[in-house]
Chains A and B, each alone.
Chain A
């Protein structure tokens, strides 16, 4: 089963996306802030098939999370999808520069998210 880590501080979004992905057969872990996100990453020894992260979060923002993952020497490259409200061009470019694979701006289409998840994490 594919493992996904979803880091998002907005609880409604977190809960619903979690349920949607779980129903599709993914094993989802959630974190509500950057610090918990980092903890989950290290606890699981970076063993995820996909990370979905927000940008603006307490303790550590999405940029930090992305660069932490990219700086980690794991055998495989974990795909990262950023889901954020930020509409500023610089922020989006920065996310990609740091190594994000995809960027979705909120509000998102659930169907679109699923397709992108499937493409990056596999079925």
Chain B
């Protein structure tokens, strides 16, 4: 009996592991195809045509801000100078307790306007809506609302005010490429297999980059180890993961840091869920469900270029908070949308994307954790064939390093990120350490998140301390 259990367990783990490796290989191939075709198409794509056309659709850029006094002015200015012919910038001041709002009022000469606010999505009450009296800032709208303790609630208020049919959701502290809107709107214009309900792009870690005001002047891989691991992780999960999934229209999440959405569908799907810890993924899941339920042939696209830089947690403690929250969000989403699992009615999302999330994203840390326990158990009873065990370990290790290295190569296909070859090499070599120094923590943090989910621990927001980007060498003189 005991033998049966162990052999059953071992073979399950074996099949599971094998499938994971195969999926990674497939993703690597898919993302390669997607990137190659993107590069080809971009050789001749004429972005000027979008800028100069009167038919170009407008976009509402929505950025919630909570206590961002340090950087708010330069970030709003940078949003206002995005390259796009028709857009508005909606800043949602989510009940900041610092001088965020006052700074904006002074800088942009804001006044309260009598705005007929129509909450298509229910949110915490909106106190006032401000517009600038300076015509140069006529694109700017500032919403002042009661703190809803979540980015979701603030984003929803922005969506309610948005005038255009598409909205870009970002964080006020994210740094966007100046062509972000042009590059994200391109798939919406060109995709010929259904209505594009959302597009996303790669995010990167901003920690060691040089800025001039809010424009990246020099990209660098983060100098300290924790953010650098995250850079690799982001490259892998966006360039290889999401782009690969995007190629077969199975994207399950468009990151909260940067995403362009079809407003109509987002509103009909109910907007962001303010109770969710993973509100971005939750919204995408509901938008997909809504589309299928209403027989809308939808697509979610990912562009394989970096358009957004965000400050990653630089200490283990902040990283733990972030990852615990993500894991909790994931568990929430899987449990609330469990009926999607292997539901043929929902097509690819039911049969491919959601099962992948369930088995290989949600369960992976658990299985890995149990595997380690089992391993320790075997060692304790001296049942282990060290020779084979080490070989298998080296196998998994080298495979993991290979996938990460490939992701870095794929990433370099679209653009020569970083200035020197040395910086790329440093990033490549970091992949050798990730497996031992970073990955175990991620597993533990995820499990912590699941435990919180199971015990329904009270939500604590964990505001990241931001150091601000302005303290770099080339800081703007005000």
Direct contact of A and B (CB under 8 A): yes
A residues with CB within 8 A of B: 34-35, 56-61, 63-64, 66-68, 85-91, 94, 97-98, 105-106
B178 touches A58 (CB 8 A): yes
Given A87-B54, A88-B86, A90-B86, A35 and B135 contact (CB-CB distance below 8 Å): no
Could you tell me the distance between the alpha carbons of A91 and B78 in the complex, rounded to whole angstroms?
18
Q: How many Å from the CB of A38 to the closest CB on chain B?
A: 11
Q: Do residues B51 and A56 form an inter-chain contact, with CB atoms below 8 A? A: yes
Cβ contact within 8 Å between B215 and A59? yes
A residues in contact with B138, CB < 8 Å: 63, 94
Q: Quick check: B85 and A86 within 8 Å, CB to CB?
A: yes
A-B contacts, CB under 8 A, total: 59
Q: List B9-68 residues whose CB lies under 8 Å from chain A.
A: 48, 51-54, 56
Candidates B48, B53, B81, B134; contact of A57 at CB < 8 Å: B81
Q: How far is the CA of A19 from the CA of B83 in the complex (A)?
A: 26
Which 5 residue pairs spanning A and B have beta carbons closest together?
A: A67-B136, A87-B52, A64-B136, A63-B136, A88-B85
User: Given that A60-B81, A86-B51, A87-B53 are contacting pairs, would A67 and B135 also be in contact in the complex, using a CB cutoff of 8 Å?
Assistant: yes
- Interface 1/0s, chain B 85-98, versus A by CB < 8 A? 11000000000000
| Chain B residues with CB below 8 A from A86, complex form | 51-52, 85
Interface residues as binary, B129-145 with A (CB distance below 8 Å gives 1, 0 otherwise): 00000111110000000
Known: A59-B213, A91-B85. A85 touches B48 (CB 8 A): yes
- A90 contact set on B, CB distance < 8 A: 86
Chain B residues with Cβ below 8 Å from A59 are: 77-78, 81, 213, 215
Chain B residues near A85 (CB-CB < 8 A):
48, 51-52
**B interface residue numbers (CB < 8 A to A):** 48, 51-54, 56, 77-78, 80-81, 83-86, 134-138, 178, 213, 215, 476
Q: List 16 A-B contacts (CB under 8 A).
A: A56-B81, A59-B81, A59-B213, A59-B215, A60-B77, A61-B80, A64-B136, A67-B134, A67-B136, A85-B51, A88-B56, A88-B85, A90-B86, A91-B85, A91-B86, A94-B138
In whole angstroms, what is the CA distance A98 to B84 when docked? 19
CB-nearest residue of chain A to B213? A59
CB-defined contacts of B135 to chain A, threshold 8 Å = 63, 67, 94, 97-98
Closest beta carbon of chain B to A5's beta carbon, Å: 17
Interchain CB contact (< 8 A) of A66 among B84, B136, B476: B136
A49 to B229, CA, bound (A): 54
Closest CB in chain B relative to A25 CB, distance in Å: 31
CB pair A34–B81 under 8 Å, yes or no, is yes
Considering the chains assembled together, what is the distance between the CA atoms of A94 and B178 in angstroms?
Answer: 21
Give the Cβ gap from A63 to chain B, nearest Cβ, in Å.
Answer: 4
* Complexed CA–CA distance, A94 and B213 (Å): 26
Closest Cβ neighbor of A88 among chain B residues: B85
B81 to chain A, nearest CB (A): 5
Chain B's nearest CB lies how many Å from the CB of A55? Answer: 9
Taken together as a complex, chains A and B put the C-alpha atoms of A67 and B81 apart, in Å, by: 15
Q: Which residues of B contact A61 (CB under 8 A)?
A: 80-81, 136
B81: chain A residues at CB < 8 Å are: 34, 56-61
Nearest-CB residue, chain A, relative to B134: A67
* Assembled-state Cα–Cα distance A49/B178 (Å): 31
Minimum CB–CB distance from B230 to chain A (whole Å) comes to 27
Q: Is the CB of A89 within 8 A of B54?
A: yes
| B248 to A: closest C-beta gap in Å | 35
CB-CB under 8 A from B78, the residues of chain A are 59
Closest residue of chain A to B80 (Cβ to Cβ) is: A61
Give Cα distance in the complex from A59 to B51, angstroms.
18
User: Complex Cα distance A60/B56, Å?
Assistant: 22
Bound CA span A97–B135, Å: 8
A85 to B51, CA, bound (A): 6
Complex CA gap A85/B54 in Å reads 11
Which interface residue of A57, A86, A89, A97 has the most chain B CB atoms within 10 A? A86
